[in-house]
Structure 1
Amino acid sequence: MSVLAVFAAIAIALIPRGREQAERMKCRDCLKALGQAPRIFADDHGGKFPYGATNSLAFTNETAAWLHYTAMWQEIIAPIPLACPADRGRYTNRADFFTTSRTITNEAGEIVRFTSSREGSGASLRALNEIQNRGVSYFIALETDAASHPSALLMGDRDLSTNTASVRGNVLAFGSSNPPSWTSLIHRDGGNLLFVDGSVEWTTTSQLHQRVATNGVANNRLLMPW
């Protein structure tokens, strides 16, 4: 095999890794931008996140992750996607969810047809109301107060395995003794997490377990977009 052929083979082998790294970074940037929305929302609602704000669409809601994002729609600045670019099959553009005409089965099992829209965020909000969790990659923690646990999990990639964690409906509950682990559904070897203080970290499973053990939250409750 020639030297050029060897270099070509190496370059081809590195392409998937390069794409994965780029998707991780885009996912991180997306979460960082999305993280501004709950803090702005809390500033306008007495320090409460949508789950804890009595006048919120998502007040005490523990079934629909997408509804929490709908509640913060005014605070989510376009074009922040609600889906990770590595999450195949989920839509990745908030300002214009649908770039071509297509059909999708919503959570009620109904076939819905969409076409490319240029109507801005209003059209996207209607689309999210239709496709619901199928347009969202990120869990949202059922935290009520923006100041209660700055190092608590707030959002993150949805590819968490349950392990021994408790699952009730769409809520994943766990503590330091039974934390979940990352799967390879979205990313390889880890996932991105957004914390209440606005910081974003890429974590492996062992790092995730360490953060859960030290975040000061006895009972983490994550609403998953499953």
Structure 2
Amino acid sequence: MNSALPGRQSAAAFTRIELAVVIAVVTLLTLLWLPAHALTARKAQRLQCVDNLKRQGVAFQLWSDKKDGRYPMSVPGSQGGPWLAGVMGTGTTTWNSGNYAQYTYQNFVVMSNELATPKVINCPADFRNAATNFGAQFVGTVGNQYISYFVGLMPDPSLPRSFLTGDRNLGTSGSQDLQNITYALGTNSPSLRWTDRMHQDNGNILLADGSVELLTSPRLREVIRTTGAYPGFSGQQSAGTPNNVNVVALP
């Protein structure tokens, strides 16, 4: 004999329908929230990266004020510059890449007092972890794994839009990333681009005038085209020519 009270089964069924509706609504809201949250997170990372570069710019300026206006890239170890990396040429001096890029990190380490924390040289969008201090982690050829930024080896104060430092996710059409390499960003570099490793195919650059620009790949190539050569140099340059301002060491 079925002793269930009238309406109990329908009430239970209604509860299940309500639960299904609630689950569907929560799922829909989650699907709508996730992309917006990811976009917000990426924007926050990029803004933090911009702040990192601005703080680096201040550090470079403070350090150079003590070294007759020279940046670490132009100061030998005997005078307080990088102790393993060789000193790059300036002006129109022919540059020699050698193994300089393996020690890119040293240009930042010598400014440890001005930078205050190694977190400033690590982009939050990078998979690389930040170092905990400027000590034992920055040794030999392994120190690059803690930094997210290249350094410009020939920044020229007379060319305020020459590159001082910037995001390391540079590549060409035939490479994912340019790593541990000294590279001349020639004024005619149609294949140069940002990779998707950081900032979704975009990047940030700190210029010699202290400003930071957020650049797409086409805009990056345009900036290089218009600022990559020394005054008086005629014609376009291919990557690797000695008259190039924007020679960078990529970690």
* Identity fraction in percent: 29
List gaps (5 residues or longer) in structure 2: 1-20, 89-99, 231-243
Aligned counterpart, 1:135: 146
Does the Cα contact within 8 Å between 1:50 and 1:144 map onto a contact in 2? Answer: no
Match of 1:212 among 208, 224, 235: 224
Provide the rounded CA distance (Å) in 1 between the counterparts of 2:147 and 2:165: 11
**Is the alpha carbon distance of 1:124 and 1:72 closer, same or farther for their aligned partners in structure 2, counting shifts above 3 Å?**
closer
**Is the alpha carbon distance of 1:153 and 1:169 closer, same or farther for their aligned partners in structure 2, counting shifts above 3 Å?**
same
Aligned counterpart, 1:119: none
The one-letter amino acid paired with 1:45 is K
The one-letter amino acid paired with 1:69 is F
Q: How many pairs align?
A: 194
How far does the alpha carbon of each residue in 1:18-53 deviate from its partner, in whole angstroms, 9 at most, with x for none?
111111111111111111111112111111111112
Provide the rounded CA distance (Å) in 2 between the counterparts of 1:78 and 1:185: 24
- Report the Cα offset of residue 84 of structure 1: 0.5
Match of 1:22 among 33, 36, 44: 44
Greater fraction helix: 2
TM-score, structure 1 normalization = 0.76
Match of 1:60 among 80, 87, 93: 87
1:193 match: secondary structure: strand
RMSD: 2.6
Aligned counterpart, 1:83: 122
> Is 1:39 aligned to 2:61, yes or no?
yes
2:109 match: secondary structure: helix
Match of 1:191 among 203, 208, 212: 203
2:210 match: secondary structure: coil
Provide the rounded CA distance (Å) in 1 between the counterparts of 2:151 and 2:117: 19
Provide the rounded CA distance (Å) in 2 between the counterparts of 1:151 and 1:144: 9
Does the Cα contact within 8 Å between 2:104 and 2:249 map onto a contact in 1? Answer: yes
Does the Cα contact within 8 Å between 1:162 and 1:172 map onto a contact in 2? Answer: no
Provide the rounded CA distance (Å) in 1 between the counterparts of 2:35 and 2:113: 43
TM-score, structure 2 normalization = 0.69
How far does the alpha carbon of each residue in 1:37-96 deviate from its partner, in whole angstroms, 9 at most, with x for none?
1111211111111111242225516231111112222221236421111101x123x6xx
The one-letter amino acid paired with 2:181 is N
2:74 match: secondary structure: coil
Provide the rounded CA distance (Å) in 1 between the counterparts of 2:74 and 2:33: 50
List gaps (5 residues or longer) in structure 1: 98-122
